[in-house]
Every structure is written in C-alpha cells, then in structure tokens.
Chain A
Amino acid sequence: MISKSLYTAFILLLCIMMIVSCKTRRGIETVELPVPSDPTISFRVWFKVGSQDDPAGKEGLAALTAAMLTEASTQENKYSDIIKKLYPMAAYYSSAVDKEMTIIKGRVHKDKVKEYLDLFIQAILYPAFEEEDFNRIKTNTLNYLEKTLRYSNDEAFGKELLYREIFKGTPYGHPEEGLIQSVKSITLEHVRNFYKTHFTRDNVVIGIGGNYSSSILKKLKMSLEQLPPRVTRPVEKPKPRPINGLEVVLVEKETQSTAISIGFPIDVLRGDKDYYALWIANSWFGEHRNSSSHLYQVIREARGMNYGDYSYIECFPNGWARQFPPANVSRRQQIFEIWIRPVLNEHAHFALRAAIRELQKLVDNGITEEDFELTKRFLKKYYLHYASTTDMRLGYKIDDLFYGIDDHLKKLPEMLDMLTLDDVNSAIKKHLQYKNMKIVMITKNGKELKEALVKNLPSPIKYATPKPEKVLIEDKEIEGYRLKIDESNVKIVKADDVFVR
C-alpha cells in the first residue's frame, strides 16, 4: 500500500517536473528585431497584464505596480542611485500600462548595454517595494487624477471620459491610472500581491531590437526565467452595454471652449479584412492631425472653428502629443471615435451637428471612387512613417503577437492593393453608424446646452469674419440638422465628480 502511494507520488512528481521542465525548455517567448546599423538597443518586455486586471475597487493597481518597478528602488539600488547610474549613459527604462498590456521598455547605446542590462533586469526581478517610493508614486497618480486630467487638458479629459462611458461596468471602464477613491485605497501589500500574481514567467514576452549580441539576449532570457511560473486566468473580452440613441454627458467646468468626443464600440481588429477597409475610410474621414481629413476640412479649414478634427478606429492615446499611433496599446475591443478639438462654447452645438452630419453622410453614401483612390495613394506611403525607429518596429512586432497576425506593417500595403471601393463602403455600412453613440462635451453651461440639444434648437453660427456663400448655405443645413436626443439620455456632471469612484 505504502509503496503504491510512493509510486503514485513519484509519478505525480515526475509529471510536475516534466511540466516545469517543458516550460523551461520551451523558454520565454521572444520577439527579435536585429538591426546591426542601429547604434542603440531597444527593449520591450511585455507582461500580459493591464488595467483590465485591476480588482474591483482597486482600479489603478496595475499602473501603480508597473511604476513601482520602473520609478522606484530595487533590492540592489535606491531609486536615486539608479537615476545616477543611468544618467551618464543617457539611458532610461520606463513602464507603460494599457488596458491589456504592460510594457517595460528601455533604450541604451550599445557601448553601455552591459551596465544598463543589470539595472533593467533588477527592476523587473527585484523591485524593493519601499514605502517611500510607493507614497511618491501614489501621490503623483492622485494629483494626476484629481487635478491634471480634469483641469489641465479638456481634450484628454473628454477622451478619457468617453472610454469610461462606453465601457462602464466592464474591465475597460476606468482610466489606466485608476479612480480617485480606488487609488487612495491601494496599499503596498496590494502592489506586492499583484506583482506576484501577474509578473510571472508564463506571462512575459521579451522584445529586443537594434544592435544587440546573442550574449545580451541570452542574459536577459536567463534572468527572466527566474520569474516564478504561474498562469493567470485571462480576463474576458469586455462586452460594452448597448447604446440607446445619442447618450450625452455634459461635464461642467470653467472653460471658454468646449471639447467634444464622440464614439461607439466596433467589432473590428487588426487582421480582419474589414479593419483595413475601415483604415482607408477613416483616413479619408478623419486622418489624425492631417489637413487631408474630411472633418478637418469641414470644421477647421472652411470655418476656422478650431484647431483640428479627427477620427479613429483604434485607440490613440495622447493624440495631442504625437503624430502617429503608439505601439503596444493593443485591445480586443476597439471603438470608433471622433475628436473635435475645443470650439467656442457658443459653437459647441453647431460643431456637434456638423460632425455627426458628416458621419451620417459617410455612412449613408460611403466614399467616392476618387476619394478611395486618393486615400489609397496617400496611405501607401504614409504608413511608412508609422514605425520609423527600431523601437517602434519592435513595438509593432509585439502587437502582431497580440493580435495573432504575421506582420501588420507588411499587410497594410498588401491590403491597399487588394481592397475595392465596394469592400470599403460595405465595411462602413457594416461597422459605422450615427444613431447610437456616446457623446462627451466638456463645457461651461451644461444646463443651457442640454436644453438646446434636447429641444433640437437651431444653432446658427456667427463668424467674426466673412465666409463664402457655399459655406453659409451649408451652415443653414447644419444649424437645423436634427439630432435626436432624449432628455433622459443627457446627464450633466461637475468636473469634480468625474473619475472619483
């Protein structure tokens, strides 16, 4: 009996060892991008964890944990000493947490990689989790949520709130930085436990690019093999609540101009044929920070109402600070988003009408053959700017892994050759619409604007300067364009009450 038990235990142990050793033999997945002509080396270590993994009531935990790795002391060095050591190398490492991804990234000149790599590895493997670092990072996060996000950049505020409104009640439903009350409740113990659970060997992918040697990669791999093995249960893809008509949130604050964000979920991701079709349609309609954008032409160029007007089929964080989409913000659920940069408060209703009217025209009519051909020609070269550095190309390769596709950057021009106008217009009809959308407006007088929206009051626009007859005729159509907005679908909130809990 005893021997049988021992035998069973032995077999069991052997099985466990085999599993472990299989895991070890297989090793950590690695994305490589050797570029011998690049004098630098880029690292992107991807942990399959993001703000979607924040426990309820502890929103912001993933971001705080990642920051405790890259903006804090390690068991080897105080944070101030790490800064001093990195300083002469002009090297850095940092973390970026999105809904589904956490990236620990860094870049160093090849002359300095040996010293650098030790610090980089220590940050991932041996964070010190010291109270003083935690207090500093947590206080800074709270300042961002309480003040910067809500009072320093109305556009950022509106865009972030749009995502919250669309994904409320799902794991995507809060800013990566968390919510004010939840961040306040996070302790260092929560951070330690989150790190233990999610920063594991089974959750990591190594990305390395540039002028690295095999020994550098080997060292990084062997080091990260020391992370504990643990498979975490993946979070389910978020299912946003259906939107019923035009659902409007008016955020009241002292401001002279109104920032507008509009959006709804779409079921299209990289790799889908329709993604590339929508890529073309969206580029024509609202290419980011590009005067070729149709929305830009209508609202800024012809009317001079604001600084720019754009649209998106994938999340594009910090759009005011970058020209091209960032890497490693891959998500299983995307939205279609329109971003109207601040317009005078008295022009807000008109601008909203103008944007939705253009969207309706896009959905109802599609784009023309001429626009299709022009946009294809534009994108055929424009996409070359998406990833001009080794670091960005490495980021794209990691995103390919996320989406399970071969080479997004290679596929983009191939799809331009393959897609027809019908493909594009069918995709527009299938995925875009203008009747069920979330609208966020950061404005001064919510009550007045609500009344105008709900009663569908005309919104004639007065310009400080004369405009061509053609524009004035179209203005008449826009000022009376019907937006069906039920009173029950409009809520007014104070800026102070947003992102609290």
Chain B
Amino acid sequence: MAVKLFSLACVFIFVLCLVISTTAALYGGEIFPYEYHKKVLDNGFKIIVIPMESEGIVAYYTIVRTGSRDEYEPGHSGFAHFFEHMMFRGTEKYPGAVYDSLITTMGANANAYTSNDLTCFHLNFAKEDLERVMELESDRFQNLSYSEQAFKTEAGAVYGEYLKGLSNPFSVLFEKLMDTAFDKHTYKHTTIGFRKDIEAMPTMYEYSKSFFKRYYRPENVVLLVAGDVKPSRVFELAQKYYGGWKKGYVSPTIPVEPEQRGERRVNVSFKGKTLPILTIAYKSAVSFDPGNIEMAACLIMGELIFGETSKLYNNLVLDQQRVQFIEADFSSSRDPALLTIYTMVKKESDISNIENEIYKAIGYFQKHMVDKKELEDLKSNMKYSFLMDLNTPDNVAGNLAQMIAMTGDIDGVDMLYSTIEKVSPEDVWKAANKFLRKEKRTVVVLKGR
C-alpha cells in the first residue's frame, strides 16, 4: 500500500521516532483517521501504537495469529479457544489469582476471544498502569504455567460454554454447516470445536504445552496499543518486557480444501422452537487480501444482493413479509472460506420458494450490471460505518484486530478501502458469475420441533 506521510508535523514526529529506534516508523492513511507508529523487535514481535484522545484510557490488544484454523491435528479441534481460557491461569511469578488481583487493582477491563483466524487478548485500563500491564502480559505470554488439575478444571468451563450454545439454533446450524461444507480444511470445525474433542480435552495436558510452545511465539503475535500513550514509551517498554521472548513459531500444516464439485444439502433438527432457518453457503476461492479486487467485489456483492437496500430484502422482508430477516456474510478469512446467506423463513412450506427467490436474485446479478448509484451508496456506507466506529481506543483496536490476524499489520486498512473504491459494476458481475455457482454451494435447513 502507499503509505502516506500527510503533514510536516508527521514528518517531524517520524524523524523523532527514527532517533528513538531505527525500526520504529510513523504512518497515516487516506481513510484511517489516526497516525500510527510501528516497531518490530529483533525477535519478530511487532508493536503498533495509535495515539488518540481518550481521557486517559488505553486499549491493549495482543493478537495471536492463531485461531481454530490452526487446529490441524485430528482430535484437537477447539484448542485455540481452550488455550484462550488457559492464558488466564497465570505463571510462576504471577499465578492466576495474583494476576486477577493485580488486574482488579488496576480496574482494568480484561477479556479475550477466539475466532477462526486469531486469539485476541484485550485490556482497557488507565494510562498510568501501562508499564504494569506490559509486565504482566509479557510474563504470561512467555512463562505461562498451570497444573494439570487447573487444566482439567478449565476444560469443564469450556464444555459448559459448548452446552450453553446448544440452546441457540444458530450455533447448532453453524456447526452443521461448517462440517458439511468442508472436507479437509480446518474450517470444518467451528471455533469451539467438535463435541467429542471438547469432551476429550481434559486428557490433553501434554498436548496443551506443545500448543503453547509452537504458537505463542513473538513472530506470531502482534501488540496493538491505542489511546492516551506515547509511542516512544510503549516501544521502550516493549523492548524491556518482550525483548527476551524467544523465537520458535512453528507454522501449522493446514490441509488444502479440495475443490467442491457438487451441491450439498443437509437438514438439521433443533430441539426447541424456532422459525425455519435457511442457509446457503458458497465455497469461496479467495482469501483475505486487501488489494484483491475480487475479494472486495465479493464483500460488496453480498450487500448488494441481500443487504437491507436490496430488492430481495425489500420483497421478502418488507413487502411480502415471508422471511423475518435475510442477510449475507461475504467477508473473507485467512484462507478461502464461505460466502453465506442466512434467512429465517416464516412458513415451513415456503422454504423452497424462498430458496428459489434467492437463486433468482443471484441470477439477476449474474446477468445484469449493478446500478452505479447503488454501488456508490454502498461504498459510502462502508466508509462511514468504519469511520463512525472508531470512537474509542477499544473500538479502534477491536476493529483492526481481524486485519492484523489476516495480514500481520494494519497497513491494509487504507488499501482495503482504496480497493473497495475501485470496484466497478463489471467486477461485481464477474464475482457473481465466478463464485455463486450451484456446484459450490451447501444448503442447510434447520427446523424446530
């Protein structure tokens, strides 16, 4: 991407940063409204700092570029998420209870989450606690230590989380969708993992140590700090606390998904009551790449065909009121995943008709070019949505975490919006014909009792 240094002031700060560290640099973009500063330590640990007004609050995101995608060994699905839990069990220096107590003393808001492509540990705290947080966080990432008993107890909490999800029809449906749509790739299991693997987790203490050793390494982790901080101070502390972290990342051997050559269909029964949920998912061929016009076209296409300003939405949701909602998730992942359409159908007898309406809408976009104004309105929506969501350090960091997981950096933000800006009606037409094909789709229908 074209990194733009957009003012003399920036250049001045840039020079100052160079004085502090030869590897620290200042960046600013065309869309992304904040300047940011980067530094990479000798061990490959990258730190990105985004100073912004925040009344003394700092958001501190440690992004491990490992998620359920990386669980390639059979019988070990759900481990990235499980490990997210284990990271709160402490070290010899700061055992779990001590870590909790110190975080409590700081009044920090600390939590974590896991998805396909990342495990993210995030804290929000007052700026005066920066060094203490960096000491604690660097310690647990380098020296995590837990007993087998603690490991087994945490497995119970994870199982409880899985069971909690079973009362939600969308969790049940999504689990079946991924399992059906994928044959080899690790996206076959959801982030929480296969039930049988979760049940077996308590027996995998030794494996858990190997998981930590392979993935929790500086080359695979990015620290993103946003808020009321001075970059030079963050870099200095990063060197002090993370500088001794040893390299050792072992990249996973992710199986390549074979080409799908025929439509797949499956029905799921839900034990509770729900309106039927129809899901149609197309196997995508593109992974996340902010400069890829096909990927940007997919993102746009999902909204154009199924978004709330689409004709289909207007017909099915507002005019005919045959579905409670319809929406599409055509975003991309680190590896090619699914372009998915979800809809909740009001009458069971109408499911196949609704499915046909969806194919008709897709067919229209495969034959016709999208209206230019609709396309421009969508681009405007995407731009303003992104900008409006950048109102707190936590939101800024939270919005960038996925980008970091997929690209290892945030430079791609400006490139992504620049690519989106370039998408033409013809690009959308091409994407509709290339990706939304019958032989690439998986259809899942969930019905309640």
Q: Which residues of A are at the interface with B, using a C-beta cutoff of 8 A?
A: 37-40, 79-80, 83-84, 87-91, 107, 109, 112, 132, 135-136, 139-140, 143, 146-148, 150-155, 253-257, 289, 291-292, 300-307, 323-324, 341-344, 374-375, 377-385, 388-390, 463-468, 495
Chain A residues contacting B317 (CB-CB under 8 Å) are 136
B292: Cβ under 8 A from any A Cβ: no
A interface footprint on B301-330 (CB within 8 Å = 1, 0 otherwise): 000000011000010011101001000000
Chain A residues contacting B156 (CB-CB under 8 Å) are 303-305, 463-465
User: Roughly how many angstroms separate A323 CA and B111 CA in the complex, as a whole number?
Assistant: 10
User: Roughly how many angstroms separate A390 CA and B388 CA in the complex, as a whole number?
Assistant: 12
B258: Cβ under 8 A from any A Cβ: no
| Residue contact A109 to B387, C-beta cutoff 8 Å | yes
| Residue contact B388 to A374, C-beta cutoff 8 Å | no
How close is B260's CB to chain A, nearest CB, in angstroms? 30
A interface footprint on B155-193 (CB within 8 Å = 1, 0 otherwise): 111001101101111100000000000000000000000
- Extra A-B contacts (14), CB below 8 Å, given A289-B111, A382-B107: A39-B387, A80-B319, A89-B380, A90-B384, A91-B384, A132-B318, A135-B321, A136-B318, A147-B274, A254-B271, A324-B109, A381-B129, A388-B54, A388-B57
Q: 10 tightest CB-CB pairs across the interface, nearest first?
A: A381-B107, A304-B156, A151-B272, A465-B152, A90-B384, A382-B107, A304-B153, A88-B380, A90-B385, A88-B377
| Residue contact A139 to B105, C-beta cutoff 8 Å | no
Other-chain residue from B100, B129, B169 in contact with A291 (beta carbon distance below 8 A): B100
Q: Contacts A109-B388, A153-B167, A307-B157 given; indicate if A37 touches B272 (C-beta within 8 A).
A: no
List 6 A-B pairs, Cβ < 8 Å: A88-B376, A88-B381, A89-B381, A90-B388, A323-B111, A381-B129
Chain B residues contacting A465 (CB-CB under 8 Å) are 149, 152-153, 155-156, 202
CB proximity to A under 8 Å, residues B189-238: 202
Other-chain residue from B88, B157, B164, B169 in contact with A304 (beta carbon distance below 8 A): B157
Chain B residues contacting A255 (CB-CB under 8 Å) are 166-167, 271
B124: Cβ under 8 A from any A Cβ: yes
How close is B171's CB to chain A, nearest CB, in angstroms? 10
Most chain B CB within a 10 A radius of its CB, from A87, A253, A255: A87
**SS class, residues of chain B in contact with chain A:** helix
Chain B residues contacting A107 (CB-CB under 8 Å) are 388
B101: Cβ under 8 A from any A Cβ: yes
Chain A residues contacting B411 (CB-CB under 8 Å) are none
| Residue contact B388 to A40, C-beta cutoff 8 Å | yes
Chain B residues contacting A467 (CB-CB under 8 Å) are 149, 153
Chain A residues contacting B318 (CB-CB under 8 Å) are 79-80, 132, 136
Most chain B CB within a 10 A radius of its CB, from A90, A254, A289: A90
Closest to B128 in A: A381
Chain B residues contacting A301 (CB-CB under 8 Å) are 96, 153
| Residue contact B384 to A136, C-beta cutoff 8 Å | no
| Residue contact A257 to B109, C-beta cutoff 8 Å | no
Other-chain residue from A154, A304, A377, A382 in contact with B154 (beta carbon distance below 8 A): A304
User: Roughly how many angstroms separate A270 CA and B72 CA in the complex, as a whole number?
Assistant: 52
Most chain A CB within a 10 A radius of its CB, from B105, B308, B319: B105
Most chain B CB within a 10 A radius of its CB, from A151, A154, A254: A151
| Residue contact A302 to B109, C-beta cutoff 8 Å | no
| Residue contact B309 to A84, C-beta cutoff 8 Å | yes
| Residue contact B272 to A253, C-beta cutoff 8 Å | yes
| Residue contact B160 to A343, C-beta cutoff 8 Å | yes
Chain B residues contacting A377 (CB-CB under 8 Å) are 104-105, 107
How close is A286's CB to chain B, nearest CB, in angstroms? 14
Chain B residues contacting A378 (CB-CB under 8 Å) are 104-107
A interface footprint on B116-158 (CB within 8 Å = 1, 0 otherwise): 0000000011100100000000000000000001001111110
Other-chain residue from B56, B308, B319, B380 in contact with A90 (beta carbon distance below 8 A): B380
| Residue contact B391 to A389, C-beta cutoff 8 Å | yes
B392: Cβ under 8 A from any A Cβ: yes
B275: Cβ under 8 A from any A Cβ: yes
Closest to A255 in B: B167
| Residue contact A37 to B53, C-beta cutoff 8 Å | yes
User: Roughly how many angstroms separate A30 CA and B104 CA in the complex, as a whole number?
Assistant: 37
| Residue contact B164 to A384, C-beta cutoff 8 Å | no
Closest to A39 in B: B387
Chain B residues contacting A304 (CB-CB under 8 Å) are 152-157, 160
Other-chain residue from A256, A382, A388 in contact with B394 (beta carbon distance below 8 A): A388
User: Roughly how many angstroms separate A463 CA and B169 CA in the complex, as a whole number?
Assistant: 28
CB proximity to A under 8 Å, residues B70-117: 88, 96, 100-101, 103-109, 111
Chain A residues contacting B96 (CB-CB under 8 Å) are 301
| Residue contact A87 to B308, C-beta cutoff 8 Å | yes
